[in-house]
Amino acid sequence: MRVRGLGAAHDERRAAILEAVFAIVDAEGTHQVSIRRVAERAGVSVGRVQHYFPSKDELLSAAFTAINDRGTARVQARLADASSPLEAVLTELIPESEEDRRLFRVAQAFETHALTNSVLSLSLKESYDDLLGLLAALGGGPELLALALGLANLTLTGNLTAAQARAIIRSGIEKRG
Amino acid sequence: MRVRGLGAAHDERRAAILEAVFAIVDAEGTHQVSIRRVAERAGVSVGRVQHYFPSKDELLSAAFTAINDRGTARVQARLADASSPLEAVLTELIPESEEDRRLFRVAQAFETHALTNSVLSLSLKESYDDLLGLLAALGGGPELLALALGLANLTLTGNLTAAQARAIIRSGIEKRG
DNA sequence: GTCAAATCAATGCGAACGTCTCGGAAAGGG
DNA sequence: CCCTTTCCGAGACGTTCGCATTGATTTGAC
C-alpha cells in the first residue's frame, strides 16, 4: 500500500500524542503546551512528536480539528436514536459528566485560540454553519444554538448545573419548537 | 499620603501597560504575551513592567480583572439612560463596532485563561452571578443571559451579524419578558 | 537640605523553548 | 538479500523566556 515500513499503528500513535495535548490543556491551560511537555506526558520522545507533527502550529491545528471532529461525532451519534432529534442535539451541547466538562473546556480553549488565527477561525465558522444547517433541518433557528452555547458556557463556569441548563433548553424548544 | 516619590501617574502607567497586553492578545493571542513584548509594545522598559507587576501571573490576573471591570462599566453606563433596561443590558453584550469585537475577543481569551486557573475562575463565576442578579432584578431569567452570551459567541465567529443577534434578543425578551 | 521611599533602566542567569540534524533501527516490496 | 522508506531517539543550536540583582534618579515628607 501507501505505507512503507510500519504504518499500522500510525493513527494510534498520532491520537496518543493529541491526547497528551488535551490532557495538558485541560490541566494547565494552552500556555503550558510545548513539544517537550507533550512528549513527556505521552511517554514518547521529542523526535516522535516531531515526526508526526512537523511543527507546533501543525500540532495545535491538528488538535483543534480533532476536538471539533469529536464534538460533531457526539452529535451525530445522538441523532441516530432520538425520539426528539432537536432536543437531543441541543442537550448534547451541555457538559454533564466530568469527562464532558473536560472535553468542553479543551474545546473552548482551542476555539479561543482559533479566534486569533485566520486559518482556524475559518473552519471554526464552518463548524458552526454546519450545526446551524443541521438545526434548521430539524426546525430550529439560530436562537436555539445560541441558547445552548450560552448555557454550556454558564455550566462550565459553575453558574448553572447541567440539569438546569437542559431544563431551560427544553422550555426554549417548546416556546419556538 | 500613602504615596512617596511620584505616585501621581501610577494608575496611568499601570493602565498603559495593561493596554499593551490587550493589544498583543488581540493581535496575536495570549501565547505571545511576554514581559519583554509587553514592555516593547508599551514603549517602556522591562524594569518598569516588573515594577508595576511583580510577576507575569499578576500581570495577567490584573489584565483579567481590568477587562472584567471594563465590561461591567459598559453595562452600568447603559443602565443609566435606558427606556428598556433589560434590552439595554442584553444588547450591550453583543459586539457591534470593530472596537467592540476587539474587546470581546480579548475578554474571551482571558475567560478561557481563567477556566484553568482556580483563583480567576472564582471571580469569573462571581461576575456572572452579578450579571444574573442584575437581570433577575430587571425581570429576566438566566435563559436570557445564556441567549445573549451564545449570540455574542456566534457574532464573534462571524456566523451572525450584530443586527441579527440584537433582533433575536428582542424577540427573546418579548417571549418571556 | 536630608533622607527614605518610589521609580525604573540595564544587565545577567539559568531554564525552557522550537527546530534541525544526524544516525541508526525496523520493516516490507522487489 | 537488498534497498528504499518509514520511523524516531539523542543531541545541539540559537532564541526567548521569567525573574533577580544592581544602581541611578526622582520625589516629597520632615
Using CA coordinates, name the residue in chain B closest to A145. B150
Judged against a pLDDT cut of 50, whether residue B143 lies above it is answered with yes
Distance between CA atoms of B94 and B149, rounded to whole angstroms?
Answer: 8
Judged against a pLDDT cut of 90, whether residue A175 lies above it is answered with no
Quick check: B62 CB within 7 A of strand D? no
The answer, for A133 touching chain B at a CB cutoff of 8 Å, is: no
Judged against a pLDDT cut of 50, whether residue B23 lies above it is answered with yes
Q: With bands split at pLDDT 50, 70 and 90, how would you rate the model's confidence at A66?
A: very high
- How do residues A28-62 score in pLDDT, each as one tens digit? 999 999 999 999 999 999 999 999 999 999 999 99
> What positions of strand C are covered by protein, i.e. any atom < 7 Å from a CB?
4-11, 16-22, 25-29
Distance between CA atoms of A122 and B157, rounded to whole angstroms?
Answer: 8
Would you state the pLDDT for residue B7?
Answer: 54
The answer, for A134 touching chain B at a CB cutoff of 8 Å, is: no
B87, three cell numbers = 434590552
What percent of chain A has a predicted confidence (pLDDT) above 70? 95
> Contact B142/A168, CB-based, under 8 Å?
yes
Would you state the pLDDT for residue B5?
Answer: 42
* CA nearest to nucleotide D27 C1': residue: B5
Judged against a pLDDT cut of 90, whether residue B122 lies above it is answered with yes
Single-letter amino acid code for the residue at B177: G
> Contact A132/B158, CB-based, under 8 Å?
no
* Cβ atoms of residues A111 and A93 within 8 Å: no
Would you state the pLDDT for residue B158?
Answer: 97
pTM for this model (two decimals): 0.92
Q: With bands split at pLDDT 50, 70 and 90, how would you rate the model's confidence at A5?
A: very low
Distance between CA atoms of A99 and A115, rounded to whole angstroms?
Answer: 25
Would you state the pLDDT for residue A10?
Answer: 81
Q: What mean pLDDT is predicted for residues A77-86?
A: 88
Using CA coordinates, name the residue in chain A closest to B27. A116
Question: What letters, b where the CB count within 10 A reaches 16 and e where it falls short, cover B120-141?
Answer: bbeebbebbeebbebbeebebe
> Contact B132/A159, CB-based, under 8 Å?
yes
Q: How far is the CA of B35 from the C1' of C5 (A)?
A: 25
Give CA separation, A121 vs A61, A106, A114, B2, B73, in Å. 11, 16, 5, 48, 29
Would you state the pLDDT for residue A4?
Answer: 45
Question: What letters, b where the CB count within 10 A reaches 16 and e where it falls short, cover B68-107?
Answer: beebeeebeebeeeeeebbbbbbbbbbbbeeebbbbbbbb
Beta carbon pairs, A and B, within 8 Å: 127
Q: How far is the CA of A42 from the C1' of C11 (A)?
A: 38
Distance between CA atoms of A176 and A87, rounded to whole angstroms?
Answer: 12
Residue ranges of B 20-59 with Cβ closer than 8 A to chain A: 25-31
